[in-house]
């Protein structure tokens, strides 16, 4: 995609995406099943964290997974090869390019992509042109405004808000999840449905505390430390205090929840 990816392209970010995908597989993708022999476009595949899940769940389907970043695509190819999957083709493509033509697909998927785009409706409409009438477009997004944790602190909330602000300045929307239904409807899709997917972690669910609270969400917020401080959003001392407070939610007496949204519509 042509917009700036606020999280960057570091190895740490690639690992965070892998941790997120592994932790949320059932929650996000238990219903990501397509008809056999479908040809599916994955728009904005990144490092292939979601690609591997989708391709594994749909072994009879062929995927064309595209991204603008050569570095991400290299990581994605390595990941898919390591998983022994042979039903994915990767291409370096800016899906927003006015002259892009990838042929026709039965279905298309956006996984955590629209949040980084200044014009998500335009991106969906572009992909709709590549999907056969009657095919579907699926979009999965998070919403930072849905964060709820204990014990809560003002400093912790401010560190999260830094990421929201930086993403907005980069042309994206970290709170796009709640807007997914009107975005899909405005794109012209028919029979749009959206369902919330709530993540909840406490000491009774240690795999969620490690996989999501620590390795997905807090790791994501920690990843914008330098740009947040450089932009004057918080001082280094305030940032460190905020992260320390946020990390309290991952202790034995802490809790953390976050909501993702999964939407689907039919191409007219």
Question: For the segment 94-116, what is each residue's pLDDT rounded down to a tens digit?
Answer: 988 887 878 899 999 999 999 99
125: left (phi over 0), alpha (psi -120 to 50) or beta: alpha
Q: State residue 137 phi and psi, 5-degree precision.
A: -120, 125
- Give the pLDDT mean for 143-166: 97
Evaluate if residue 118 carries a pLDDT over 60: yes
Distance CA(229)–CA(182), nearest Å, equals 34
What are the tokens at 218?
A: 């807090």
List the CATH code of the domain at 11-266. 3.40.50.150
Distance CA(92)–CA(6), nearest Å, equals 20
Other Cβ atoms within 10 Å of 113 Cβ, number: 25
Query: How confident is the model at residue 67, as a pLDDT?
Result: 96
Query: How confident is the model at residue 2, as a pLDDT?
Result: 41
What are the tokens at 156?
A: 């912790």
pLDDT digits (tens, 9 = 90+) for 211-239: 999 999 999 999 999 999 999 999 999 99
pLDDT digits (tens, 9 = 90+) for 49-98: 999 999 999 999 999 999 999 999 999 999 999 999 999 999 999 988 88
Query: How confident is the model at residue 44, as a pLDDT?
Result: 96
Maximal CA-CA distance, the chain: 55
Q: What percentage of the chain exceeds 70 in pLDDT?
A: 92
Query: How confident is the model at residue 237, as a pLDDT?
Result: 98
Evaluate if residue 124 carries a pLDDT over 60: yes
Domain edges within the chain: 11-266
Distance CA(51)–CA(165), nearest Å, equals 28
What are the tokens at 194?
A: 């959206």
Evaluate if residue 8 carries a pLDDT over 60: no
Beta strands 39-43 and 105-111 are: parallel
**What is the average pLDDT value for the chain, to the nearest integer?**
93
Contact criterion met (CB below 8 Å) for 9 and 205:
no
- Give the pLDDT mean for 143-156: 97
């Amino acid at each position: 995609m042509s917009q700036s990816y606020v999280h960057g392209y570091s190895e740490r970010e690639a690992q965070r995406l892998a941790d997120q995908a592994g932790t949320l597989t059932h929650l996000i993708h238990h219903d990501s099943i397509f008809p056999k022999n479908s040809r599916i476009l994955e728009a904005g595949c990144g490092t292939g964290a979601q690609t591997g899940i989708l391709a594994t769940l749909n072994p009879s389907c062929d995927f064309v997974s595209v991204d603008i970043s050569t570095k991400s695509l290299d990581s994605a190819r390595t990941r898919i090869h390591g998983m022994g999957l042979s039903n994915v083709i990767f291409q370096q493509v800016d899906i927003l390019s006015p002259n892009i033509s990838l042929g026709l697909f039965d279905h298309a998927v956006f996984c955590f992509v629209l949040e980084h785009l200044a014009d998500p409706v335009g991106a969906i409409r572009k992909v709709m042109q590549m999907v056969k009438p009657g095919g579907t477009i699926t979009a999965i997004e998070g919403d930072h405004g849905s964060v709820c944790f204990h014990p809560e602190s003002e400093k912790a909330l401010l560190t999260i808000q830094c990421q929201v602000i930086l993403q907005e300045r980069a042309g994206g929307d970290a709170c796009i999840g709640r807007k997914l239904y009107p975005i899909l409807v405005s794109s012209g899709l028919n029979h749009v449905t959206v369902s919330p997917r709530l993540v909840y972690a406490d000491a009774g669910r240690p795999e969620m505390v490690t996989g999501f609270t620590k390795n997905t969400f807090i790791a994501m917020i920690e990843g914008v430390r330098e740009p947040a401080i450089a932009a004057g959003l918080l001082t280094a001392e305030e940032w460190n205090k905020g992260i320390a407070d946020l990390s309290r939610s991952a202790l034995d007496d802490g809790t953390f929840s976050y909501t993702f949204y999964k939407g689907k519509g039919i191409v007219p």
